[in-house]
Structure 1
């Protein structure tokens, strides 16, 4: 599995960037929607760390609020996985190694979810079982609308969401990820797994059960590139 700290240090060293300045701070993302009011970002359940590096941006979801302004080498030395991933996304964006490392805004998540459902419909048709790891209301709602509530299962780690009906289905605990993967035809996973430490376990389950997994969002940009993971991010910047 990726050691993000070592990868950032390697890329920064090879490109003589260790002494370059980088700023990392939480940002507010405008997710105005007339139909969805429970995005974790809007409720303060998650925060978006954004790294600003030489005119480019890299994001990483986190539960911890941190701010930093200094040398890239200091980010590496910090050992903070969330800061390192945000930095890695911004640096790799600057070096044109990744695309779409900045979160979409306003109603774009709903548009992205619609495009994802259309993509899956073209690939599989309507009779598939979809597992969603991480509570993303726009994606879950669209999957339920397109494929039916009996064909969508989802997990999350937020205690206020687990066991409750959200977007027409009951959200299971993240400890049920193996069950979700085993019982799905295809898995859609939040890219935040790269930042919260669950990516390796999830990939081990998809390998065990030979299941296709598509990661969505911006946090996973660097990991998707390094591990050759399938990623869907229609409207990231």
Structure 2
């Protein structure tokens, strides 16, 4: 699995960037929706760390609020996975190694979810079972609308969400990820798994059951590039 510290150090060293300055801080994402009011970002259950490097931006979801302004070498020395992922996304964006490393805004998550459902319809038709790892209300709602509530299952780690009816389905505990993957035709996963330590386990389950997995969002940009993972991010910047 990815050692984000080693990867950041390697890229920074190869491109003579170790002494370059980077700023990392939490940011507010301007999400607007007339129909969705429970985005984790809007409720303060998740935070978005944003790295600013030479005019380029890289994001990483986190549960910990940190601020940093200093050298890339100091980010590497920090040992903070979330900081290193944000830094990697911004540095790799600067080096044109990744695209769409900045979170979308306003009503764009709903537009992205619609485009994702249309993409899946073209690939599979309507009779497929979809598993969603991570509570993303726009994606779950759109999948339920397009494919029906009996064809969508989802997991999350938020105790306020687990076991509750959300967007037409009951959200299962993240410990049910293997069950979700085994019983889905295709898996959609939040890219936050790259930051919270669950990516390796999820990939092992998709390999075990030979299931296609598509990661969505910006956090996973660097990991998707390094591991050649399929990623969907229609409106990231």
Per the alignment, residue 164 of structure 1 pairs with 164
CA distance in 1, matches of 2:202, 2:233: 19
CA distance in 2, matches of 1:152, 1:197: 24
Task: Give, in angstroms, the shift of residue 84 of structure 1.
Answer: 0.2
CA distance in 1, matches of 2:114, 2:32: 17
**DSSP 3-state at the match of 1:132:** strand
Q: 4+ residue stretches of structure 1 with deviation over 2 A?
A: none
CA distance in 2, matches of 1:220, 1:141: 22
Report the TM-score when normalising by structure 2: 1.00
CA distance in 2, matches of 1:98, 1:147: 31
CA distance in 1, matches of 2:191, 2:149: 23
Task: Give, in angstroms, the shift of residue 114 of structure 1.
Answer: 0.0
Residues 192-215 of structure 1: per-residue CA shift (max 9 Å, x gap): 000000000000000000000000
Task: Give, in angstroms, the shift of residue 104 of structure 1.
Answer: 0.1
Residues 117-141 of structure 1: per-residue CA shift (max 9 Å, x gap): 0000000000000000000000000
For the aligned residue pairs, the C-alpha RMSD in angstroms reads 0.2
Give ranges in structure 2 of 5+ residues lacking alignment. none
CA distance in 1, matches of 2:158, 2:30: 22
Residues 68-112 of structure 1: per-residue CA shift (max 9 Å, x gap): 000000000000000000000000000000000000000000000
Residues 181-200 of structure 1: per-residue CA shift (max 9 Å, x gap): 00000000000000000000
Report the TM-score when normalising by structure 1: 1.00
Task: Give, in angstroms, the shift of residue 149 of structure 1.
Answer: 0.1
CA distance in 2, matches of 1:13, 1:140: 41
**DSSP 3-state at the match of 2:101:** coil
CA distance in 2, matches of 1:2, 1:25: 23
Whether 1:34 and 2:29 are equivalent positions in the alignment is no
Per the alignment, residue 60 of structure 2 pairs with 60
Per the alignment, residue 214 of structure 1 pairs with 214
Give ranges in structure 1 of 5+ residues lacking alignment. none
Task: Give, in angstroms, the shift of residue 15 of structure 1.
Answer: 0.1
Residues 22-64 of structure 1: per-residue CA shift (max 9 Å, x gap): 0000000010100100000000000000000000000000000
| Equivalenced residues, count | 237
CA distance in 2, matches of 1:153, 1:234: 22
**DSSP 3-state at the match of 1:203:** helix
Per the alignment, residue 188 of structure 1 pairs with 188
